[in-house]
Amino acid sequence: MKIINFEKYKFRCSDLGKLMVNPRKKTDTLSATTKNFLQEKHAETIFGKSKEIQSKYLSKGILVEDDAIEMVNRVTSEKYSKNEEMFQNDMITGTPDINESSLIDIKSSW
């Protein structure tokens, strides 16, 4: 088994669900989902290509994003706004929706 150094990788916040899956067997360190995801990320880095995902679900989420933020603001009396700035640390990168005191990620389900 080849050991891969993932220190140079940055994961999107939306990737965390694929990284934090418990394995089915207690003897396994990583789940099959996590292993497959890490293999894909490694291949993307080695070959410089990534999958471009397009679906009606993503298109709908993008289409109603501004309305969803406004609805959350009305319901919670907060003042979140769409953020275009990328936040990151050593491991994670993302563009959360922001207000003066907090970060969230507003999603619109299908």
Q: 104: buried, middle or exposed (CB in 10 Å: 19+, 13-18, 0-12)?
A: middle
Report the predicted TM-score, pTM, of the whole model to 2 decimal places. 0.61
Please name every residue paired with 104 in a beta bridge, in sequence order, or none if there are none.
97
What average pLDDT does range 4-15 have in this prediction? 74
Q: Are strands 92-94 and 11-12 parallel, antiparallel or unpaired?
A: parallel
What average pLDDT does range 85-105 have in this prediction? 83
The average confidence (pLDDT) of the chain is 85
Position 7 scores a pLDDT of 62
Tens of pLDDT, residues 40-81: 888 887 888 877 888 999 899 999 999 999 999 999 998 888
Q: What percent of the chain has pLDDT over 90?
A: 34
